[in-house]
Amino acid sequence: MMDKLRLGVFELTDCGGCALNILFLYEKLFDLLEFYEITEFHMATSLSEENHYDVALVTGTVSTQRDLNLLKEARNHSEYLIALGTCATHGSVQGSVELPIREKLKAVYGDDGNPMRALDSKPVVEYVAVDFALPGCPYDKNEVYQVLMDIAKGIEPVRKDYPVCVECKLNEYECVLVKKGLPCLGPITYGGCNAACIRSGLGCIGCRGPLPGEVNPASEYEILKDLGYDDEYIIRKFKTFARWEP
């Protein structure tokens, strides 16, 4: 039998959801374990003995020196590194707080700030080259399953290249932007979530980050303005998960 691939899960500063989501694969996790051996996964195991990984999953933002060291370690010791989740790919909500780090620390921890070293929360992709980026807050767990299976079989995983609207239409959900006038970022956001928010009758909040290429953020901006949302509200909405300047 072929040797199993060594998989490491590295968690930088985040809510823990991207690591947790791997455990939420349930029986599919056991399917993955046919191909992978988990040799580093802080949240799930006390074992940690390998220093080489065929695949490293890195979640979270770089927010401390510890995060940066851990990220470099993961990069230096892995063949294939995946930035997993919107924190790692775009910075997500914690990366969208716009103040110099010193002022942020002072505002939260009091006049003296906190003497521990903190960095501005930035995505993994700003510090190291990644082999694959899978956004989502959280990412769709079936997507990471597919990506890991592809790698195990020697196939380069495919990156989704369509907006949330495509999956919304496939599910035949009613368009909340047109029909209800809700602020929905579906037309300009990376698909792959199976339109989870629209399923609840609510607008897409853009948690998978902006789809580059042929989408038209300017026209989305105009639509939201016509619906009566003010500039500040729209700009914040655009920036929240991906620090995106419309």
Residues 170-199 that bind another protein (CB under 8 A): 196-197, 199
Give the CA distances from residue 12 to residues 59, 63, 106, in Å, rounded to whole numbers and listed in that order: 6, 8, 22
Q: Check binding of 16 to another protein (CB under 8 A).
A: yes
Q: Which of 93, 125, 166, 175 binds another protein (CB under 8 A)?
A: 93
From the list 87, 38, 34, the residue with the least C-alpha distance to 58 is 87
Crossing angle for the helix pair 217-226 and 231-242, to the nearest 10 degrees: 140
Which residues, 6 or more positions from 25, have their beta carbon under 8 angstroms from its beta carbon? 32, 141, 144, 145
Judge whether 48 and 98 are in contact, CB under 8 Å.
Answer: no
Q: Check binding of 207 to another protein (CB under 8 A).
A: yes
Query: Of 21 and 78, which has the nearer Cβ to another protein?
Result: 21
Where do runs of H (alpha helix) occur along 153-230? Answer: 164-170, 176-179, 196-199, 217-226
Whether omega before 138 lies within 30 degrees of 0, making that bond cis, reads: yes
Query: Of 44 and 125, which has the nearer Cβ to another protein?
Result: 44
Q: Report the nearest approach of another protein to the CB of residue 128 (Å).
A: 17
Q: Which of 99, 155, 158, 170 binds another protein (CB under 8 A)?
A: 99
Q: Check binding of 13 to another protein (CB under 8 A).
A: yes
Residues 116-145 that bind another protein (CB under 8 A): 116, 118-119, 121, 137-138, 141
Q: Which of 26, 100, 212, 213 binds another protein (CB under 8 A)?
A: 26
Judge whether 125 and 83 are in contact, CB under 8 Å.
Answer: yes
Q: Report the nearest approach of another protein to the CB of residue 33 (Å).
A: 7
Which residues, 6 or more positions from 231, have their beta carbon under 8 angstroms from its beta carbon? 225
Token output for 6: 């060594």
H-helix or E-strand spanning residue 118: strand 118-123
Query: Of 2 and 108, which has the nearer Cβ to another protein?
Result: 108
Q: Which of 54, 67, 167, 220 binds another protein (CB under 8 A)?
A: 67
Q: Check binding of 46 to another protein (CB under 8 A).
A: yes
d(CA 148, CA 35): 9
Residues that bind another protein (CB under 8 A): 11-18, 20-21, 23-24, 26, 33, 38, 41-48, 61, 63-64, 66-67, 92-94, 96-97, 99, 104-105, 107-110, 112, 114-116, 118-119, 121, 137-138, 141, 196-197, 199-202, 205, 207, 233, 236-237, 240
